[in-house]
Chains A and B, each alone.
Chain A
């Protein structure tokens, strides 16, 4: 794992794009952690006298139709972006890893579980998330759950593939023949070897979660619109695209650059990953 991370930082020095990606992610994290310090205005403060003001010295990114400061909302939006990303990645890992490992170790149960994963994968991902959110209702945790289910499937598949491979490897077999318990094998041999492919998967899931959440927000079925999120900002501002095109520019840019940076990171991680697992990582699904 340390080798992988060292690889990424090494790559960052050699490849300016990766450096840009990492830097941008740092900016997003700083925005999220220190939003009250950075944002010059409250993201919710309504100012009916200053509606749809173009970018200027006071409002760097202009104001929206409530007269709210777009820059402040973009800054606060980073919180939701990180929350959604961490939530989706967490959910996908916490469900996908057990399903994948168990399926690989117990082939009979595995056949049933992986068939279930196949069934979920047969649904177009956005429609699956959309259906779930309509059932569960709008809300941050529901959006995380709805998008998380989509990536549960891909994560489970990857983990399944990786575990199968590891199981075949001699040291695991040797450990088993020596009478080691399954749990011990999993903890000692399988999970540690899985960290680097999971890191790669996590960064891609994180990236696609941004796009998925933005799509849901855009269709009016994502996070509650009274919370500033980049997707909600786009959804609310689309009515004003001809009158105030800048309103869509900044939140859209944030979504794109965040996803871009995460994808760059994922790529850099993958380049330094054990080639044995690259094949298992090939199957990517998008929202």
Chain B
């Protein structure tokens, strides 16, 4: 087991190093000057050149990379060109929104996706199952920003039930009630993901029910209901848990668009805006952190999967 953990961690670290080089190279290939964007429309070329030098953008790329990677190892991701603040601060500012948004979305996804998936699986082949599966497929095919725009139109602009946009911190005035700002965005974001988890839950429950040990349990005379609860659901959940790794990462990716629609101060929107502003340190930092998160989550899922699943033998 330990060997397995070491091996997987090593692979994840290697991926991370390769990804960091890729991020750095990519970002400096982007055309456009952060200096020009900052100085505005009326800036002269001389002013732009002076600011460029001041920002250290004249150094050779390879030197810039080693500075960046070396500092990143010490937890320093550099300073935002635009905000003139440490990138870690910029990320920390966006992290609360993004983590809460992803978490609330995951709650919807689990609360809706798993039970409905179980129901569909237990009624396999019925009109209910077909209807639910078809609906799930449809919901998984709808762009989240489209859902988001219509949610705003109906629940914020017309009915006025929920705020349309923005998110004041729960640590600010308003406290936990500020979570209401995240209800519409999380619903938009949950739409396709709940549908996917629904389908996944249904499919894995059906797969597991064909396994030998379930047949054995049935043969031993355990009631079908108990078989469902004790064995099938539990093992199906394992599959679902493993899917969370990439669903969570997908959430961060999709949140880029959702955060833009709902003007949320999350890290997804920070990345998009930093790309438009050519704020290299922020883009690099945020993507590095997201990639790290993705790798860690997948590592944890991999390891816990080996722990939890009785059928998987250790390599």
Direct contact of A and B (CB under 8 A): yes
Q: Does A65 sit within 8 A of B, measured CB to CB?
A: no
Total interface residues on B, using CB and 8 Å?
Answer: 47
A263 and B141 form a contact (CB under 8 A)? yes
Contacting A at CB under 8 A, from B195-221, are 196
B256 and A131 form a contact (CB under 8 A)? no
Instruction: Please judge, given known A-B contacts A219-B256, A256-B138, A260-B141, whether A123 and B250 are in contact too, CB under 8 Å.
Output: no
B27 and A131 form a contact (CB under 8 A)? yes
Q: Does A255 sit within 8 A of B, measured CB to CB?
A: yes
Q: List residues of chain B with CB within 8 A of the CB of A134.
A: 30, 275
Q: Does A41 sit within 8 A of B, measured CB to CB?
A: no
Q: Does B143 sit within 8 A of A, measured CB to CB?
A: yes
User: A216 CB to closest chain B CB, in angstroms?
Assistant: 9
A267 and B137 form a contact (CB under 8 A)? yes
Stretch of B67-75, B113-121, B228-236, B290-298 that contacts chain A? B290-298
B18 and A137 form a contact (CB under 8 A)? no
Interface centre among A116, A234, A260 (most CB of B within 10 A): A260
B290 and A127 form a contact (CB under 8 A)? yes
Q: List residues of chain B with CB within 8 A of the CB of A132.
A: 26
Q: Does A200 sit within 8 A of B, measured CB to CB?
A: no
Q: Does A183 sit within 8 A of B, measured CB to CB?
A: no
Instruction: Please judge, given known A-B contacts A130-B272, A215-B143, A259-B141, whether A122 and B153 are in contact too, CB under 8 Å.
Output: no
Taking CB as reference atom, which chain A residue is nearest B290? A124
Q: List residues of chain A with CB within 8 A of the CB of B149.
A: 238, 241, 248
Taking CB as reference atom, which chain B residue is nearest A220? B276
Q: List residues of chain B with CB within 8 A of the CB of A269.
A: none
A176 to B283 Cα, complex, angstroms: 49
Interface centre among B134, B249, B290 (most CB of A within 10 A): B134
Contact of A285 among B31, B140, B250 (CB under 8 A): B250
Q: Does B192 sit within 8 A of A, measured CB to CB?
A: yes
B130 and A215 form a contact (CB under 8 A)? no
Taking CB as reference atom, which chain A residue is nearest B134? A17
A135 and B29 form a contact (CB under 8 A)? yes
Total interface residues on A, using CB and 8 Å?
Answer: 43
Q: Does A186 sit within 8 A of B, measured CB to CB?
A: no
Contact of A135 among B11, B30, B130, B140 (CB under 8 A): B30
Q: List residues of chain A with CB within 8 A of the CB of B250.
A: 124-125, 285-286
A123 to B152 Cα, complex, angstroms: 30
Q: Does B254 sit within 8 A of A, measured CB to CB?
A: yes
B287 and A123 form a contact (CB under 8 A)? yes
Contacting A at CB under 8 A, from B9-68, are 11, 14-16, 18-19, 22, 26-27, 29-31
A263 to B143 Cα, complex, angstroms: 14
Interface flags, A266-286, vs B, CB<8A=1, else 0: 010000000000000000011
A219 and B272 form a contact (CB under 8 A)? yes
Instruction: Please judge, given known A-B contacts A135-B31, A260-B137, whether A115 and B257 are in contact too, CB under 8 Å.
Output: no
Q: Does B260 sit within 8 A of A, measured CB to CB?
A: yes
Q: Does B246 sit within 8 A of A, measured CB to CB?
A: yes
Q: List residues of chain A with CB within 8 A of the CB of B283.
A: 131
B295 and A256 form a contact (CB under 8 A)? no
A252 and B275 form a contact (CB under 8 A)? no
Q: List residues of chain A with CB within 8 A of the CB of B192.
A: 286
B143 and A255 form a contact (CB under 8 A)? yes
B157 and A126 form a contact (CB under 8 A)? no
Interface of A is mostly: helix
Instruction: Please judge, given known A-B contacts A135-B26, A260-B141, whether A119 and B253 are in contact too, CB under 8 Å.
Output: no
Contact of B141 among A119, A135, A211, A219 (CB under 8 A): A211
A259 to B26 Cα, complex, angstroms: 30
Q: Does A245 sit within 8 A of B, measured CB to CB?
A: yes
User: B10 CB to closest chain A CB, in angstroms?
Assistant: 12
User: A79 CB to closest chain B CB, in angstroms?
Assistant: 19
A256 and B141 form a contact (CB under 8 A)? yes
Q: Does A97 sit within 8 A of B, measured CB to CB?
A: no
Taking CB as reference atom, which chain A residue is nearest B153? A241
Contact of A245 among B138, B153, B287 (CB under 8 A): B153
Q: List residues of chain A with CB within 8 A of the CB of B290.
A: 123-124, 127
Taking CB as reference atom, which chain B residue is nearest A218? B145
Q: Does A264 sit within 8 A of B, measured CB to CB?
A: yes
Interface flags, A223-260, vs B, CB<8A=1, else 0: 00000000000100010011001001000100111111
A135 to B283 Cα, complex, angstroms: 13
Taking CB as reference atom, which chain B residue is nearest A279? B207
A259 to B253 Cα, complex, angstroms: 19
Contact of B153 among A130, A242, A264 (CB under 8 A): A242
Instruction: Please judge, given known A-B contacts A234-B146, A242-B157, whether A127 and B19 are in contact too, CB under 8 Å.
Output: no
Q: Does A287 sit within 8 A of B, measured CB to CB?
A: yes
B130 and A122 form a contact (CB under 8 A)? no
Q: Which residues from chain A sit less than 8 Å from chain B, CB to CB?
A: 15, 17, 115-116, 118-119, 122-127, 130-132, 134-135, 137, 207, 211, 214-215, 218-219, 234, 238, 241-242, 245, 248, 252, 255-260, 263-264, 267, 285-287
A-B contact pairs, 16 of them (CB 8 A): A15-B130, A17-B130, A115-B11, A115-B15, A118-B11, A119-B15, A119-B18, A123-B19, A132-B26, A135-B31, A214-B143, A214-B145, A234-B145, A245-B150, A248-B149, A260-B141
